[in-house]
Amino acid sequence: MAKLPIFATERLILREVTEADATAYEKNFVDYEIISQLASVVPWPYPPGGVLDFIRHQIVPRQGNDRWVWGIFLKEQPSEIIGVVDLWRTGTPENRGFWLGRRYWGKGIMTEAVFPIMDYAFDVLGFEKLCFSNAVGNKRSRRVKEKTGAQFLRIEPGTFVSASYTEREIWELTRDRWREFKSRQT
Ligand SMILES: CC(C)(COP(=O)(O)OP(=O)(O)OC[C@H]1O[C@@H](n2cnc3c(N)ncnc32)[C@H](O)[C@@H]1OP(=O)(O)O)[C@@H](O)C(=O)NCCC(=O)NCCS
């Protein structure tokens, strides 16, 4: 039985990630333009077989327990995972990560994906607030946060795969702020 609900938005299906997604995940994810933006815990060069290992050991056993990882699929191409939204309970300090294959950037896809997941986090998982983070200079990620109601808090030191990033932005989204933001959208 699926441990995660499936969400459908205008253009997307969001569903759990399984080992069967490893090949497409690797194709769309293993790209320095993506991985360079991520926290320095992510290895680069990315090891062969690393995606399957990550799905098998970091996603599947934790899925629906303390971690919720949705794959992003286009309705018009529903068998290929093109990105991920990842939520986790214990903030590091952030509680969410995301990536999208480069050819899909700039079309509003991540913004669209984030909406049902924020609803689920606040309404079903019971988060009262979520913390987000991005490298200072990662304008796309910052923009997704701005477009989905998050509040910028501060800048602090941070280490990323790209050593050119040395600071991170910390953002917060509370349940009340999310509800208020959504009520202004309609
Ligand atoms: C961050 C990421 C998920 C964004 O996904 P996306 O689907 O392209 O995001 P959206 O299209 O919803 O929004 C991107 C916004 O950034 C804007 N943007 C794009 N390039 C930009 C730039 N160079 N400077 C400023 N804004 C930029 C877009 O115009 C868009 O805003 P708009 O809708 O107001 O025009 C994607 O770029 C990605 O996977 N990046 C690499 C991994 C990553 O950074 N993950 C997050 C780590 S914190």
Which CATH number belongs to the domain containing residue 148 in this structure? 3.40.630.30
Radius of gyration of the chain (CA): 16
- Other CB atoms within a 10 A radius of the CB of residue 101 amount to 20
Domain of residue 18, residue span = 7-185
Q: Is 129 domain-assigned? A: yes
Asked whether the whole model's pTM tops 0.85, one would answer yes
Domain membership flag for residue 1: no
- Which residue's alpha carbon is nearest to atom 29 within ligand 1? 106
Asked whether residue 153 is assigned to any structural domain, the reply reads yes
- Residue with the nearest Cα to atom 31 of ligand 1? 143
Q: Which atom of ligand 1 is nearest to the CA of 100?
A: 39
Residue 104 lies in a domain: yes
Distance CA 75, CA 81 (A): 11
Question: pLDDT over 90 for what percent of the chain?
Answer: 97
Q: Residue 155 domain-assigned?
A: yes
Q: What DSSP letter does each residue of 164-182 carry, written as one string?
A: T--EEEEEEEEHHHHHHHH
Distance, CA 142 to ligand 1 centroid (Å)?
7
Question: Is 175 a member of any domain?
Answer: yes
Tokens of 27: 């194709």
Instruction: Choose which residue among 140, 145, 147, 160 to substitute to test ligand 1 binding: the one with the highest number of ligand atoms within 8 A of its C-beta.
Output: 140
Alpha-helix residue ranges (DSSP H) falling in 97-173: 109-123, 139-147
pLDDT tens, 102-159?
A: 999 999 999 999 999 999 999 999 999 999 999 999 999 999 999 999 999 999 999 9
Residue nearest to atom 17 of ligand 1 (CA): 140
pLDDT digits (tens, 9 = 90+) for 35-69: 999 999 999 999 999 999 999 999 999 999 999 99
User: Is there a domain that residue 171 lies in?
Assistant: yes
What pLDDT is stored for residue 2 in this prediction? Answer: 61
- The number of domains in the chain is 1
Whether residue 168 contacts residue 155, with contact meaning beta carbons closer than 8 Å, is answered with yes
Average pLDDT estimate for 19-36: 98
In a domain, 64, yes or no: yes
